[in-house]
Amino acid sequence: MYAQMVETGVKQVKALDDMSPEERVFQEKIDAEIKIEPKNWMPDAYRKTLIRQVSQHAHSEIVGMLPEGNWVTRAPTLKRKLQLMAKIQDEAGHGLYLYSAMETLGADRDEEVEKLHSGRAKYSSIFNYPTLNWADMGAVGWLVDGAAIVNQVVLQRTSYGPYSRAMIRICKEESFHQRQGYEILLTMMRQGNDAQKAMVQDAINRLWWPALMMFGPSDADSPNSAQSMAWKIKRHTNDELRQRFIDQTVPQLEILGCSAPDPDLKWNAERGHYDFGEIQWDEFFDVIKGNGPCNRERLETRRNAISDGTWVRRAAVAHANKKKQRAAA
C-alpha cells in the first residue's frame, strides 16, 4: 500500500528509506492504524497539512450557515423553520469542534479566522453559489450535506485523533441534515404544484455540478492527495469519493422523479458505476480563487458579523472578569 502511494499523485511522497528515524517511527504508527494525538511527535508538514485542512473545514461549516440563514425568515412552515434553524445551529457546532481540533495542533483560532476574512484561507467552493428558492434548502441538505457525508464518513478514520473524533459526531448530525433536505424535495415533488416541482428541478440543475466539485480537483490535479493519503489524513482520493457520491445519489434522484443536468450520466454495467460528464474545472478554480458568484458577499457578511458582535464579546469578557474579581474578593 505504502509503496503504491509513493508512485501515485502529483507530488512524490518520501520513501521509508529516505526518512529520518523519527519520521519512520511516525509512518509506521500511521501504517499500523495508531492514532496520532496532540502531544505525540509529528512531522511539521503533517501538522501544517492538518491545520490547513481542518481550518478550511471549520471555515466551510461557518460560511455554510450563510446561504441557509438567508431562508430562516422565509421557510414555508413553522416545522420547516425549526428544522432549518436546528441544522444551522448544528453547523455552528461543527465549526466549533473543528476549530478546537485545529487548536490542538497549536494553531491560533483568531489568526486562522483572520486569514478567512482577508481572503487568504479557503472554504468549500459550494458556499459561493446563491440559494435562490425554497427548493434550494432541500437541494443543499440532500446534495451538499450528502456530498459532505461521503467525504466525512471516511474522515472518521483519519489518522489525527481529535479530528477523527470530531468527525464521528459531525457525521451523525449530517445524516439528519441530508434526510431533512431530501424530505423537503420529496414533499415538493409529491404534493407540490407544477411551479413547485419546477423549482426542485431548477435547484438540482444549479447545484448538481457545484456539489460534484466539493470533492476537489481530479486526482491528477490534486497536489495534496498523495502525501495526505500516505499519512492517512485522507483515506480515499477525490475522484473515488466523487464516484461514490454519484453512485449513491442517482437512485435517489430517480425516486424524486428528477434528472441531473448531465446528458452523459448513465450506468456502466462493466465498471459497476455511473459514468458522468466532464466537470467545468475552470469554473471550480475560478471560484476557489475568490471569483465565484457570492465569494465577496460571503466574506463581507462574515466580516460584518465579527465587527457587529465586538460589543457583545467585550461585554462578555467584562462580565467574566467582574465575576472573577468578586469570587477573589
Residues engaged in binding ligand BYC (CB under 6 A)? 52-53, 56-57, 60-61, 64, 91, 122, 124-125, 144-145, 148, 151, 213-217, 222-225, 228, 234, 238, 288
Which is closer to ligand BYC, CB of 22 or CB of 108? 108
Which is closer to ligand BYC, CB of 11 or CB of 190? 11
> Residues 176, 50, 172, CA angle at the centre, nearest 5°?
10
Q: What is the smallest separation between the CB atom of 101 and ligand BYC, expressed in angstroms?
A: 12
Of 161, 175, 152, the residue nearest 58 (C-alpha): 152
Which is closer to ligand BYC, CB of 163 or CB of 197? 163
Structural Rg of the chain based on CA atoms:
21
State the cell numbers at 4: 503504491
CA distances from 277 to 46, 50, 262 (A): 34, 32, 6
Q: What is the smallest separation between the CB atom of 303 and ligand BYC, expressed in angstroms?
A: 19
Which is closer to ligand BYC, CB of 180 or CB of 197? 180
Q: What is the smallest separation between the CB atom of 205 and ligand BYC, expressed in angstroms?
A: 19
Which is closer to ligand BYC, CB of 167 or CB of 197? 167
Question: Would you say 127 and 294 are in contact if contact means Cβ atoms under 8 Å apart?
Answer: yes
Q: What is the smallest separation between the CB atom of 128 and ligand BYC, expressed in angstroms?
A: 9
Q: What is the smallest separation between the CB atom of 163 and ligand BYC, expressed in angstroms?
A: 9
Phi, psi at 222, each rounded to 5°: -105, 100
Question: Would you say 129 and 203 are in contact if contact means Cβ atoms under 8 Å apart?
Answer: no
Question: Would you say 325 and 318 are in contact if contact means Cβ atoms under 8 Å apart?
Answer: no
> Residues 320, 98, 282, CA angle at the centre, nearest 5°?
130
Question: Would you say 221 and 281 are in contact if contact means Cβ atoms under 8 Å apart?
Answer: yes
Q: What is the smallest separation between the CB atom of 308 and ligand BYC, expressed in angstroms?
A: 22
Which is closer to ligand BYC, CB of 121 or CB of 198? 121
Phi, psi at 171, each rounded to 5°: -65, -40
